[in-house]
């Protein structure tokens, strides 16, 4: 069953410079009362580091396929959606599909990990009931 966690709204301002040739453009991005909501956690089976995918709604945008990764003996972390490709030598390369400002990214990661931990605890309790 999907878990829905809503992170409190907040207000922040980001100033960034974008370079196009020799010209600099300054872009100010104002986001107010941005709601972060977990739409779905898709848990994967198996013993690999990729544990789940998460779909997240941020304001009016829906961002699919965040990755929850946990290596043995380490804590879980979240990776933004990414694409991969093989170069001419067969090496796999990865590239993030999004660049999200730090404070917003941190809020999304906390929401995803909280929802995933709830899902994991529920699954553990179900397994213990069966035994």
Q: Answer whether 54's CB lies under 8 Å from 112's CB.
A: yes
Domain count, the chain: 1
- Count of Cβ atoms closer than 10 Å to residue 119 Cβ: 22
Cα–Cα distance, 8 to 34 (Å, whole number)? 8
pLDDT in tens, 57-114: 998 899 999 999 999 999 999 999 999 999 999 999 999 998 888 888 888 999 999 9
Structure confidence by residue, pLDDT tens digits, 13-46: 333 444 444 333 333 243 446 789 999 999 998 8
Kindly state whether residue 1 falls inside one of the protein's structural domains.
no
User: Domain for residue 53, yes or no?
Assistant: yes
pTM of the model: 0.71
Helix (H, G, I), strand (E, B) or coil at 73: coil
Residue 107 is assigned to a structural domain of this protein: yes
Which residues lie closer than 8 Å to 115 by C-beta, 6 or more apart? 3, 4, 5, 38, 41, 54
Q: What's the confidence (pLDDT) of residue 102?
A: 80
């Amino acid at each position: 069953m999907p878990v829905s966690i809503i992170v409190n709204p907040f207000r922040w301002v980001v100033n960034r410079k974008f370079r196009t040739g020799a010209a600099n453009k300054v872009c100010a991005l104002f986001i107010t009362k941005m709601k972060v909501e977990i739409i779905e956690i898709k848990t994967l089976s198996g013993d690999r580091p990729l544990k789940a995918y998460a779909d997240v709604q941020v304001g009016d945008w829906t961002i699919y396929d965040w990755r929850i990764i946990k290596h043995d003996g380490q804590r879980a972390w979240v990776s933004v959606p990414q694409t991969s490709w093989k170069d001419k030598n067969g090496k796999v390369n990865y590239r993030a599909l999004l660049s999200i400002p730090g404070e917003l990214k941190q809020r999304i990661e906390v929401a995803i990990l909280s929802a995933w931990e709830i899902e994991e605890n529920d699954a553990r309790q179900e397994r213990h009931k069966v035994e």
